[in-house]
Amino acid sequence: MSLWVYVCVFVYAAFTYARTYKQCPEESCSEEFKKHSQLSMHVTRHGLDPAPFKCNWEGCESAYKWASELKKHQKWHKGVGDLYSCT
C-alpha cells in the first residue's frame, strides 16, 4: 500500500471517531455527547447518581452533586459568604 492510502485510512478513522456520540442512558432523554466527560456531567444532572459530596459541619445534612457547590456551601458555614443556607 502506498503512503497515500495510509493517510486516507487514518483521516477516515479520525473523522469516524470524532462523529461517534455517547447516548444518555436515561430513557426519556435523547442527548448525545462527543466526550465521555460531558456525558458523565449530564448524567449527574439527571439525578441518576446520588449527591456524593456531603457537608461535614455538625448538624448540617446538606449534600451536593458537585464538589464546587459543596465548597461554596462550606464558605457559608465559615462566614465567608451568605451563598447557601442549610435545609
**What percent of the chain stands above pLDDT 70?**
64
| Cell numbers describing residue 67 | 464538589
Same domain? 55 vs 87: yes
Same domain? 64 vs 78: yes
Alpha carbon distance 50, 45 (integer Å)? 10
Same domain? 36 vs 58: no
Give the model confidence (pLDDT) of 13-36 as tens digits: 666 655 667 888 888 888 888 888
pTM value is 0.42
Burial class (CB in 10 A: 0-12, 13-18, 19+), 10: exposed
Same domain? 35 vs 65: no
Judged against a pLDDT cut of 60, whether residue 55 lies above it is answered with yes
Q: Identify which of 39, 34, 27, 66 has the alpha carbon closest to the alpha carbon of residue 50.
A: 66
Same domain? 7 vs 40: yes
